[in-house]
Amino acid sequence: MLKRVVLVLGFLSTFSTSFAQHDAVVVSETPVATAPAQATEVPAAVTEKDKIKKENKDFINHHLLDAHSFDIMVTKEGKHIGFPLPVIFYDKANGFHAMMSSAFHHGEEVVESKGGHYKLFHEKIYKTDASGTINLDAEHHPTNEKVLDLSITKSVLMIVLVSLLMIFIFGGIARSYKNSLVPSGAGKLLEPLILFIRDDIAKPNIGPKYKKYMGYLLTIFFFILFLNILGLLPFGINVTGNIAVTAALAIFTFFITQFTANKTYWQHIFWMPGLPWPMKIVMMPIEIIGMFIKPFALLIRLFANMTAGHIVIMSLIAMIYVFKNIIAGVAFSFLTFVLYLLEILVAFLQAYIFTMLSAVYFGMANEEHAHEGEEGVAHH
């Protein structure tokens, strides 16, 4: 199991560094000419409210993004409290560059390295000039050349820490079983979950061959669970809300399913037993498409649920600053607390669903049929 944890660590770290940040709508820092002032002025109260709404929207967007520095909070004066992270990127003209994220000063400074100039803009690194010009298209998307970003971002840092934490915890549990059949330490808390995954997920869905998948199922369950729980902390650790991470997890399930599948699995995909040959030809592309829809459903479900939870909770908190009255302060605070408790349930539920569906796919890949005439019906 520890080997699989290390495998998850290596793959996800590599995968996430290349696609660490989501594309977001650019809502500020637009160096283009603005339209002349209109004759009709907007009332001051509306302008202030719109300003607060825009600030809240920007804050939520940046919270959902990955980051090159680990910021715990930002003061009213704009001071970032946290620590920088290593920035590593490749520019085909100037090669590899390495520095700390503090060199960018959260996108306020232009970094000169090996004769090139680079700027951090919405948590992405672009080539620019000495003045830090970022050119935008009609849709406010940067047109500057983007570098290959291999930085240790906040998401990558949490992936590494969670992987090391899992090695430490489950390594200790494994050692405790050498001396006694009764677990000690963290094993007392986690053993019921381990037995639940074995008895209620792996055995019923995979069958007699469940043991060879247990290491992966346990790894994926606790990996997602720990990341989901950390995502509820107020530090903006939205790892499972990063589609690159959920895609990497889904790709693991996809490849394990394909490489451990038996002959019957492939026969049902390419030449469905028990059907007339014209129907077999019709079913073949449908089954092939289904192979790729399954992991896609896995990655989208986890990504969408965790991202939606963050957006809803932060939007409710933002409403307090929009309405600015006692009723809103009490009502939205209470509703946020209730939804926060619900998010804890969702954190466990999403880890369970991802593990359950992975086990179902493994079971389908190892399903055996005694009668050819019944195979097509049993498969569906």
101-137 tens-digit pLDDT: 888 888 888 999 888 899 998 888 999 988 888 888 8
Most confident range, picked from 90-94, 175-179, 200-204, 337-341: 200-204
Mean pLDDT of 313-318: 78
pLDDT value at position 59?
A: 67
Signed CA dihedral, 188, 189, 190, 195: sign only: positive
Per the domain annotation, does 89 fall within a domain? yes
Statement to judge: residues 254 and 143 lie in one domain:
no
The DSSP letter of residue 142 is: B
pTM above 0.85, yes or no: no
> Which residues are bridge partners to 91 per DSSP?
95
pLDDT at 335 over 60: yes
Per the domain annotation, does 49 fall within a domain? no
Which domain covers residue 215, as residue numbers?
155-379
pLDDT at 187 over 80: no
Question: Which of 34, 90, 18 has the alpha carbon at shortest distance from 243?
Answer: 18
What phi and psi values does residue 250 have, to the nearest 5 degrees? -65, -35
Statement to judge: residues 145 and 160 lie in one domain:
no
Cβ contacts of 203 within 8 Å, gap of 6 or more: 210
Q: How many CA atoms, within 13 angstroms, populate the side-chain half-sphere of residue 206?
A: 25
Asked which of 93, 125, 152 is the last residue of a domain, the reply is 152
What's CA 80's distance to the chain center, in Å?
Answer: 24
pLDDT, tens digit, 9 for 90 and up, residues 209-236: 899 999 999 999 999 999 998 888 776 6
Asked which of 121, 152, 183 is the last residue of a domain, the reply is 152
Based on its alpha-carbon atoms, the radius of gyration of the chain, rounded to whole angstroms, reads 25
Statement to judge: residues 207 and 297 lie in one domain:
yes
- Give the chain's domain count: 2
pLDDT value at position 236?
A: 62
Cβ contacts of 277 within 8 Å, gap of 6 or more: none
pLDDT at 370 over 60: no
Statement to judge: residues 164 and 84 lie in one domain:
no
Statement to judge: residues 217 and 116 lie in one domain:
no
φ/ψ bin of 113: left (φ > 0), alpha (ψ from -120 to 50), beta (otherwise): beta
Flag the least confident range among 22-31, 42-51, 219-228: 22-31
Query: Which amino acid does the sequence have at 377?
Result: V
- Written as six digits, the tokens of 70 are 């680990």
Helix (H) or strand (E) holding 267: helix 263-270
Statement to judge: residues 172 and 247 lie in one domain:
yes
Is 174 strand, coil or helix? helix
Check residues 246 and 174 and name the one with the higher pLDDT.
Answer: 246
φ/ψ bin of 120: left (φ > 0), alpha (ψ from -120 to 50), beta (otherwise): beta
Per the domain annotation, does 269 fall within a domain? yes
Statement to judge: residues 323 and 193 lie in one domain:
yes
How long a stretch of residues is the chain? 380
Give, in order, the Cα–Cα distances in Å from 59 to each of 52, 54, 314, 317: 10, 9, 9, 11
Flag the least confident range among 90-104, 148-162, 360-374: 360-374
Asked which of 127, 152, 177 is the last residue of a domain, the reply is 152
Statement to judge: residues 147 and 267 lie in one domain:
no
Per the domain annotation, does 66 fall within a domain? no
